[in-house]
Structure 1
Amino acid sequence: KTTQIQDETSATQGRNQCNSRTKPVQLQDETSANPGRNQCNSRTNPEQIQDETSANPGRNQCKSRMKPVQLQDKTSANPGRNQCKSRTKPVQIQDETSANPG
């Protein structure tokens, strides 16, 4: 009797945790209601991340990489402080290699 097995899964959702993944609509509602509880889901909202970085750039250091315009300004002002960030600019790297091929 396969029909009774289907009825049990629908009645007791707590016993079948894997079945909750088949409902993306409820997951989206939870992330919109509680963004703090689901930190990983905040990546699906690029607009909110941009607003946070513009308001508090110091708190979100890793998220500043999404804005190449600000990185160019910082590297031009302080090239020594941001050594690793210069790798995101292939144009400058090509200029360096052409100047110093050795």
Structure 2
Amino acid sequence: MVTARLSAWRLHAPAEPAALLAGELIADALRHSADRIRLTLWAEDGLLRCEIGRAHQAGAAPAQPARRVHALLERLACCWGTQDGVIWFELCLQARP
């Protein structure tokens, strides 16, 4: 889904890391008994943002990535965090100098 959406937006460079991170975070959420996952993507101001959270769980405890996923986020994302049961990451759309 992530790769298809980014391809439709002609954002080919971030497609592989975005799909990898989103897939790992979704798998991690499903392992922790979330039965419905919401995935949100948008690109703005030179950044691609991806948010993953449990659908319909207002006030849920902040999601915390597994250690292996945490290492991937640190390596691939320009920034990431958690808020209100949602874990998010951003990828730069422009190449860094």
TM-score interval (norm. to shorter): under 0.3
User: 1 or 2, which has the higher strand percentage?
Assistant: 2
**Structure with greater contact order relative to length (CA < 8 Å, sep ≥ 6):** 2
TM-score relative to the length of structure 2: 0.23
User: 1 or 2, which has the higher helix percentage?
Assistant: 1
* Structure number with larger C-alpha Rg: 1
